[in-house]
A and B are shown apart, each in its own frame.
Chain A
Amino acid sequence: MLCCGLAASLLLFTCATAAARGPRYYRFGVLPLQSPTMLAGMFLPLTDALQHALHRPVEFVTAPNFASFMRRVRRHEYDIIYLNPLLYTRAHRWGYHVIVKVAGEPFTGILVVRRGSPIHALVPGRLPAGLRIGFPDPNAYAATIMTRQFMQARGIHVNRDMKVKYFGSQDSALMAVYYGMVDIAGTWPPSLRSMPRNVRHSLRVIAQTPPQPQMPIAVRDSMPAPEVRRIRRLLTHLTATADGREVLHHLGFSRGFVAARNSEYRGVKP
C-alpha cells in the first residue's frame, strides 16, 4: 500500500514537473530477468550509447518483479522496454511496438542442475521423488513458461511431481541451484553466461526448449518517428563499430540486434 502510494506520488510529480526539468529523460525499462545491479552492468553502456545518439539523457530502470514491471509498462512509465516475447504481446496491446530483437542466438529456455547431480535427462518416471525446481518468475517466458511447456509435453507435471519455488530473477534461480536450495532451475542461456565463472562451471544444462522469437526491444507508440528511427539504426548497427561491439559485449549479445516486426510475435502464446 505504502509502496503504491509512493509510486503514484512519484508518477504524479514526474508528470507535473516534466516540462520544467529541461531535456526530458527517456526511461529504458528492462524486465527484471536478473538482479538490478547485474542488469545495470549489462544495459548502462547501451543507455549511454542511446544518450549520445538521441542527444537527451536516457535512464536505465528495472523493477522489483515482473508484475511491477508490467504495471509500469501499462502506465507508460517507460519509453523503451526490453522484455520477453510473451510479455511483449501484452505490452503491444498497451501501446508499444517492437523495433528490434536480439540477433543470432535462438530464444530458448534451459533447465540446469549442479554438475554433480544424478539427473542427466528428463525422463518421466525416472526422476527422483521430491525434486525441487526453481524459476525466476511465473511470467518469465523462456525460463518458466517455455520450460514448463517443454516438460509438460514430455509428460512431466511440474506442479504435481516437483516442489516449485520462485526466486524473483534469473540470477537468484541459478544461485539457488548452485547452493543446493533447489535441484533444477529454469533459466535461459544469456543468464547462465552472465554468471561468474565458478558458478557457471559448477552447473550443467540438462534440457533446452525449442526456439521462439527472440527478446524484443520496443518503444512507445507515441515516440516521435525520427527518434524511433535513430534508435533502431543505432541498435542494428552496433556490430559495425568498436564502441558498439563493446556495448554488445556487456549485453552478452555478440551478434547484436536485427530489425523486427510485430507480426513475428503473433504466434507467441502462454
Chain B
Amino acid sequence: MSAVELRSLPEHVDSARPPKPSLFRTLRFRLMLSVALVHAVLMGTFVWSEVGKQSQAIRADLYSRAHSLITLMAVASTNALLAEDLGSLAEVTQRVKRQPDVMEGAIIDVRGDVLASTDARQVGHRLRLPDAALARQGHGRLRLEEQIRVAGQRVGTVLLEMSTRHLQSELAATRDEGLLFILLALVVGSVAAWVLSLFITRNLHILMEAARRIGSGDLGVRVALPARDEVGLLGGAFNAMAESLQRISAQVQNEHEKRTDAERLACVGELSASIAHEIRNPLSAVINSVKLLDRSNLPAGDRAQAIAILNTESLRLQRILNDFLDFARIRESRLQEGDICGLVEEVAGLIRQHPQAAAVKVEVECDAHHSRARHDPDQLRQVVWNLMLNAIQAIPDRGELRVRVERAAGTVRVSITDNGSGIPDHLLDKIMRPFVTGRKQGTGLGLSIAQRILMQHGTVLSIVSHVNVGTEVSFDLEAT
C-alpha cells in the first residue's frame, strides 16, 4: 500500500494574542487569595483565641460573683438560720435578689425546710438536696448550693440560682465582635494582597505584553523595568532574547529570500524543461509531417497519414498549452456556503456522458442534509471534474467509480474511489507535481491544478492507492 498525505498549516495562526486566562487562574488572583487566606487564618486564630479568653473571663467572672455571693449569703445567714430568725433570713434573701443576674436564692435548714427564699411561695416547703456543694449550669441558669457548717456539722444549706442570659448575651456579643474582626481582617487582607499583587505582577504584565508583540512579529519591542529584583533580571534576559531573535530573524529572512530566489529560478528552469519536453515530441511530429507533405511524390496513403498526425499532434500541443494556462492562471478562491452534494451530482452527470466513461459505473453516495460547506463552486467543480476524469482514465476496461460525500467532525469529506490500475509507488510521492503523469496521453497538470485550488480552500488532497486495485482520493471542506 502506498499513501501520501499533504497538509498545510493553517494560514491564519493568531500567535500574536495568547488566550487570556480566567481571573481565577491568574497569578495576581492566586497571590491575592493566598495572602488574604493566610492573613485571615492568622487573624482568625488570634481573634478566636482572644474571644475564647474573653469568654472564659466572662464565665469566670459570673462564677466568681456567684460563689462570692453564695458564700456571703451563707455567712450572713448562719446566725439567723440557727436562731430561726425568719425576718433576718428574709432580709438576706431580699438583698440577694437585688443583686444582678440573681434569679433565686433560698436558705434551707438541716431538715430541708425552706426558711427564706426570694420566692415567698417556697418558704415552708421541703426540698431534697444533695450532700455536697455543687455548681450546675443549664437552661440559662447557674445553680449553686453551699452548705452552712458549724463545728464541722451541716446546719443548713444556701441555694442560689443566677441567670446566665446576660452572660450568654455578652458571650454572643464577644463572638460577634470576633467574627466582625475576622471579616474585617479578611477584607483588609484582601485589599492589601491585591495592592501587593498589583505591584508584583505589574512588571510581569509588561513582559507579557512585550512577549505578545514579539509573537505578533514586532521584534523591535524592548522592556524597561526599573526593578532590580528577579523580575528586573528577567526583563534584561527578555531584552537580550529579543535582540537575538531580531538578529536571527533578519538572517533567516535574508537566507529565505536567497533560497526563494534560487527555488524560483530552479522551478522556472524545471518548468521550462518540462514544457520543452512535453512539446518537443508533438512538435517534432508536426515538423516531420510538414516535411513529408512537402514531397510531391508522396503517396496518397502516406499523405493522409501525415495529415492525420499533423492534426493529432497539433491538438495535443493545443491541449498542453491550455492546461498549462489553466495551471498558471488559477484565480483567488471566492469561498461561499453551498451544497456539495448537488455540485458532485452535477459533475458526475457530465462524467457519465464522457466517451471514456462508457464502460464505467459511476455511483454517488451523498447525504444531502449534511453536505453544506464553504467553497468556490467553479473551482471545486473543476477539482471534482479533474479527479473523476483521472479516475475513469485509470480504469483500463470496465470498472467502477464511487463518489462519497459525508459529514465528519466539522468537515464535509469528499472521496473519489476507483478500481483502476492504481498509481505506481515511484510516482506516488511526486504525483502532485506539474507534468508528472502515469499516462501517455496525460499532461500531468490535472492533480496539480486540483491541489492548488484545494490549498486555497485551506485543505489538501489525500491519496491512497494500490496498484491494480484502485485509488482513493479525498479532501475535507469546512462544514457550515
Q: What 0/1 pattern do residues 5 to 49 of A give for CB contact below 8 A with B? A: 011011011100100010001000000100111011100110010
Partner of A59, one of B80, B86, B109, B151: B109
Give the interface residue-count category, chain A. Answer: 20 to 34
Tell me the bound Cα distance from A2 to B116 in angstroms: 12
> Is A127 among interface residues, defined by CB-CB distance under 8 A?
no
Tell me the bound Cα distance from A9 to B151 in angstroms: 30
Q: Which residues of B contact A72 (CB under 8 A)?
A: 84
> Is B79 among interface residues, defined by CB-CB distance under 8 A?
yes
Q: Which residues of B contact A44 (CB under 8 A)?
A: 150-151, 153, 155
Q: What 0/1 pattern do residues 55 to 80 of A give for CB contact below 8 A with B? A: 00101111110001000100000000
> Is B126 among interface residues, defined by CB-CB distance under 8 A?
yes
Q: Which residues of A contact B78 (CB under 8 A)?
A: 36-37
Q: Are A2 and B90 in contact (CB under 8 A)?
A: yes
Q: What 0/1 pattern do residues 75 to 106 of B give for CB contact below 8 A with A? A: 00011111111111010000000000000000
Q: Are A64 and B85 in contact (CB under 8 A)?
A: yes
Q: Which residues of B contact A41 (CB under 8 A)?
A: 150-151
Interface of A is mostly: helix
Q: What 0/1 pattern do residues 114 to 126 of B give for CB contact below 8 A with A? A: 0110000001111
Q: Are B151 and A36 in contact (CB under 8 A)?
A: no
> Is B376 among interface residues, defined by CB-CB distance under 8 A?
no
Q: Are A2 and B87 in contact (CB under 8 A)?
A: yes
Q: Which residues of B contact A62 (CB under 8 A)?
A: 82-84
Q: Are B123 and A37 in contact (CB under 8 A)?
A: no
Could you name 16 residue pairs across A and B whose Cβ atoms are closer than 8 Å?
A2-B90, A6-B87, A6-B123, A9-B124, A10-B113, A10-B123, A21-B111, A25-B111, A36-B80, A40-B150, A41-B150, A44-B151, A57-B110, A61-B82, A63-B84, A250-B151
Q: Which residues of B contact A48 (CB under 8 A)?
A: 153
Q: Which residues of A contact B116 (CB under 8 A)?
A: 6
Q: Which residues of B contact A17 (CB under 8 A)?
A: 126
Q: Are A45 and B124 in contact (CB under 8 A)?
A: no
Q: Which residues of B contact A40 (CB under 8 A)?
A: 82, 150-151, 155
Q: Which residues of B contact A63 (CB under 8 A)?
A: 83-85
- Known A-B contacts A9-B124, A25-B111, A44-B153; the reply to A36 vs B82 at CB < 8 A is yes
Partner of A36, one of B79, B86, B124: B79
Complex interface residues of chain A between 211 and 270 (CB less than 8 A to chain B)? 250
> Is A129 among interface residues, defined by CB-CB distance under 8 A?
no
Tell me the bound Cα distance from A149 to B87 in angstroms: 34
> Is A3 among interface residues, defined by CB-CB distance under 8 A?
yes
Q: Which residues of A contact B87 (CB under 8 A)?
A: 2-3, 6, 64
Interface residues of B, count at CB 8 A: 26
Q: What's the minimum C-beta distance from A230 to chain B, rounded to whole angstroms?
A: 21
Q: Are A13 and B82 in contact (CB under 8 A)?
A: no
Q: Are A64 and B151 in contact (CB under 8 A)?
A: no
Tell me the bound Cα distance from A6 to B111 in angstroms: 17
Interface centre among A7, A9, A40, A68 (most CB of B within 10 A): A40
Q: Which residues of B contact A39 (CB under 8 A)?
A: 82
Q: Are B151 and A45 in contact (CB under 8 A)?
A: yes
How many A-B pairs fall under 8 Å by CB? Answer: 81
B interface residues with partner A (beta carbon < 8 Å)? 78-88, 90, 109-111, 113, 115-116, 123-126, 150-151, 153, 155
Q: Which residues of A contact B155 (CB under 8 A)?
A: 40, 44, 60
Q: Are B86 and A6 in contact (CB under 8 A)?
A: yes
Tell me the bound Cα distance from A62 to B155 in angstroms: 12
Q: Are A3 and B86 in contact (CB under 8 A)?
A: yes
In the complex, what residue of chain A is closest to B81 when comparing beta carbons? A36
Q: Which residues of A contact B109 (CB under 8 A)?
A: 59
Q: Which residues of B contact A3 (CB under 8 A)?
A: 85-87, 90
Complex interface residues of chain A between 107 and 158 (CB less than 8 A to chain B)? none
Tell me the bound Cα distance from A48 to B152 in angstroms: 11
Q: Which residues of B contact A60 (CB under 8 A)?
A: 82, 155
Interface centre among B81, B83, B125, B153 (most CB of A within 10 A): B83
In the complex, what residue of chain A is closest to B115 when comparing beta carbons? A10
Q: A10-B123, A45-B151 are in contact. List 17 more A-B contacts (CB 8 A).
A: A2-B90, A3-B90, A6-B86, A6-B90, A7-B84, A9-B124, A10-B115, A14-B124, A21-B126, A39-B82, A48-B153, A59-B109, A61-B82, A61-B83, A62-B84, A64-B87, A64-B88
Q: What's the minimum C-beta distance from A154 to chain B, rounded to whole angstroms?
A: 35
Q: Which residues of B contact A6 (CB under 8 A)?
A: 86-87, 90, 116, 123
Q: Are A9 and B79 in contact (CB under 8 A)?
A: no
Q: What's the minimum C-beta distance from A245 to chain B, rounded to whole angstroms?
A: 16
Tell me the bound Cα distance from A48 to B153 in angstroms: 9
Q: What's the minimum C-beta distance from B442 to chain A, rounded to whole angstroms?
A: 130
Tell me the bound Cα distance from A44 to B109 in angstroms: 14
Q: Which residues of B contact A57 (CB under 8 A)?
A: 110-111
Q: What's the minimum C-beta distance from A78 to chain B, rounded to whole angstroms?
A: 10
Q: Are A7 and B86 in contact (CB under 8 A)?
A: yes
Q: Are B90 and A35 in contact (CB under 8 A)?
A: no
- Known A-B contacts A17-B126, A59-B109; the reply to A10 vs B151 at CB < 8 A is no
Q: Which residues of B contact A37 (CB under 8 A)?
A: 78-79, 82, 150
Q: Are A64 and B83 in contact (CB under 8 A)?
A: yes
Partner of A13, one of B90, B125, B153: B125
- Known A-B contacts A3-B87, A7-B86, A13-B124; the reply to A59 vs B111 at CB < 8 A is yes
Tell me the bound Cα distance from A247 to B85 in angstroms: 26
Q: What's the minimum C-beta distance from A187 to chain B, rounded to whole angstroms?
A: 19
Tell me the bound Cα distance from A50 to B82 in angstroms: 18
Q: Are A14 and B150 in contact (CB under 8 A)?
A: no
In the complex, what residue of chain B is closest to A43 when comparing beta carbons? B151
Tell me the bound Cα distance from A64 to B115 in angstroms: 14
Tell me the bound Cα distance from A150 to B126 in angstroms: 48
